Amino acid sequence: NAGVMQNPRHLVRRRGQEARLRCSPMKGHSHVYWYRQLPEEGLKFMVYLQKENIIDESGMPKERFSAEFPKEGPSILRIQQVVRGDSAAYFCASSPTSGRTNIQYFGAGTRLSVL
Amino acid sequence: DQQVKQNSPSLSVQEGRISILNCDYTNSMFDYFLWYKKYPAEGPTFLISISSIKDKNEDGRFTVFLNKSAKHLSLHIVPSQPGDSAVYFCAASDGGTSYGKLTFGQGTILTVHP
């Protein structure tokens, strides 16, 4: 049973470019979460999605950031016009639809570097 | 506003001894707590969790204790092994309007010496 898959593992962008981060949840999971970890800090919640719905985006910056989880395919976190401050590790997590729904299982992360 | 705090940035323990990692929280709406372990360049791995209706949960070498009145939880690892060396994060969620959102502490680096 494959875990949460994130790609790419490393992404380098120049200031002003767009970054697209992908996340495929574990099989049988329909809830996806995105977190960001800045150096020397804990993980900060960004957004919680179910298929075709954004449930909670209270942690998303108001501008340049968007997320989606389409009916088919992976969840996408999109950052437009990246700035140096966007450099961080971005983690995706998923949780099951039933059973232990409180437990989130994490992918290996995408490390974004903005030059 | 740091709602979950891990006040010890690091902890060093001898192999075979007990490791105790601590976590404090301020939000009384939190009703579910989790501990994750994280190695460098990897994602957090779920270890153990506890609901606010319990005060203890045990899984093998890992035990989590919850003191609701003090808004404090701790993770005990016994016996500690060198492979336990990692960053440990506590996290909390509430089942109400913020369901699904985990709030993490800053992490504690555990080093277990052979």
CA distances from B90 to A97, A115, B38, B104, B108 (A): 23, 32, 11, 6, 9
B110 touching A (Cβ < 8 Å): no
pLDDT score recorded for residue B98: 60
User: According to the model, what pLDDT value does residue B66 have?
Assistant: 97
Query: Where does the pLDDT of residue B41 fall: very low under 50, low under 70, confident under 90, or very high at 90 and above?
Result: confident
Q: Is A59 in Cβ contact with B104 (below 8 Å)?
A: no
Put simply, whether B75 touches A (Cβ < 8 Å) is no
Which chain A residues are closer than 8 Å to B105 by Cβ?
Answer: 42
Q: What pLDDT shows up at residue A1?
A: 52
Do residue A102 and residue B41 have CB atoms under 8 angstroms apart? no
Q: Which residues of A touch B106 (CB under 8 A)?
A: 40-42
CB-nearest to A56 from B43, B91, B100 is B100
Task: For residue B71, give every residue at least 6 positions away whose Cβ sits within 8 Å of its Cβ, in sequence order, or none.
Answer: B24, B25, B26, B28
On whether the CB atoms of residues A48 and A55 are closer than 8 A, the answer is: yes
pLDDT band at A99 (very low <50, low <70, confident <90, very high): low
Residue A101: pLDDT band (50, 70, 90) is confident
pLDDT in tens, B60-99: 999 999 999 999 999 999 999 999 999 999 999 987 656 6
| Mean per-residue pLDDT, A22-37 | 94
Mutation to test the B interface, candidates A103, A105, A112, A113, most B Cβ within 10 Å: A103
The residue among B21, B42, B97, B102 with the most chain A CBs within 10 A of its CB, best to mutate, is B102
Q: Are the beta carbons of A76 and A22 closer than 8 angstroms?
A: yes
Chain A CB within 8 Å of residue B39 CB: no
The separation between CA A105 and the C-alpha centre of its own chain, rounded to angstroms, equals: 12
Quick one: which of A37, A18, A30 has its CA closest to A77? A18
Chain A: residues touching B (Cβ < 8 Å):
4, 6, 31, 33, 35, 40-45, 48, 55-56, 58-59, 91, 93, 95, 102-109, 111
Query: Residue A28 has what pLDDT?
Result: 84
Question: What average pLDDT does range A50-68 have in this prediction?
Answer: 93
User: What percent of chain B stands above pLDDT 90?
Assistant: 89
**In the predicted model, is pLDDT for residue A7 greater than 70?**
yes
Helices and strands per DSSP (H, E), number in chain B: 0, 11
Give me the pLDDT at residue A3, please: 92
Sequence-ordered list of residues with C-beta below 8 angstroms from that of A96, at least 6 positions apart, any chain? A26, A28, A29, A30, A31
Q: What is the reported pLDDT for B114?
A: 92
The average pLDDT across B44-62 equals 96
